[in-house]
Chain A
Amino acid sequence: MNQPEPVLLDFSLLDRQIVDSQGLMVGNVDDLELAVTDQGRLQVTALLSGQQVLGDRLGGRLGRWMSAVARRLSPTPDPQPLRIPYDLVDTVGSEITLTVAKDLLAEPPLEAWLRKYLIDRIPGGRDASQ
């Protein structure tokens, strides 16, 4: 585990690319989930990723519009943001590396939908390029 001490939440975590243990891209850190512990302390519990989360964070008319678009583009009626528990975070540096592979995390619905209904329908989408 390689994380700076102390961690600046906005500077070091927010808006950084999340990468899995194989180097594949998972998403950006669009927000952080904070929780108040029983002892009354504030803990960073999870990374949050997703266009709706980003829209909520941007706020204002722009943010609301982005969240609305994200909801409309989502195939499920009530999309949940991608939530990555903080203990899956390995290193915090130029990118946020996780200890697990991407497959273990929920796939963003838009990616799944586009893959199934568009990309896989075009010949050649499955293999690596020639």
Chain B
Amino acid sequence: MRASDLLGRDVFDTAGNAVGRIVDLIARHDADGQLMVSAALVAPGRRTRLFTYERPALAAPWLVHTAIRRLHGDVNEIQLSDLRLGPEARELPLPASLRQPDGDENS
């Protein structure tokens, strides 16, 4: 599958409630150096682009920053295992489940 298949998708929690749309996917390198997707950045409301991102490297002009934050609302990081692609879906429709073994990555 491709990243574009997941980005922008509406997602739901395990209880079937809508939580928003996937704005970005968070990936980390594991012990073997492979890049594994562990969580998604979910924003309520419309899909918008993450123009900038809250991190120490960025020192954006205040006005631009708040304007953009108002556009996409508060962004939450949610573990993939807590997300479903449909309100009734037991798990994401992939060849295997997206749930990760317990005791794996921290957030």
Contacts and interface: CB of A to CB of B under 8 A. Distances in A.
* A and B in direct contact, judged by CB atoms within 8 A: yes
Interface of A: 3, 5-11, 14, 31-36, 38-44, 48, 53, 56-57, 59, 86-87
B101 A3 contact: no
A81 to B, nearest CB: 10
B50 A43 contact: no
A34 B37 contact: yes
B24 A11 contact: yes
B27 interface: yes
Contacts, number: 93
A6 B26 contact: yes
B41 interface: yes
Nearest to A3: B29
Chain B interface residue number, banded = 20 to 34
Would you call the interface of chain B mostly helix, strand, loop, or mixed? mixed
Contacts of B33: 87
A8 B96 contact: no
Most chain B beta-carbon contacts within 10 A, residue among A9, A40, A41: A41
A7 B2 CA distance: 16
B66 interface: no
Contacts of A31: 2-4
Contact of A43 (B7, B23, B36): B36
Contacts of B23: 10
B4 A43 contact: no
Contact of B4 (A7, A35, A44, A57): A57
A14 B5 CA distance: 13
Contacts of B53: 8, 11
A14 to B, nearest CB: 7
Contact of A7 (B6, B27, B96, B99): B27
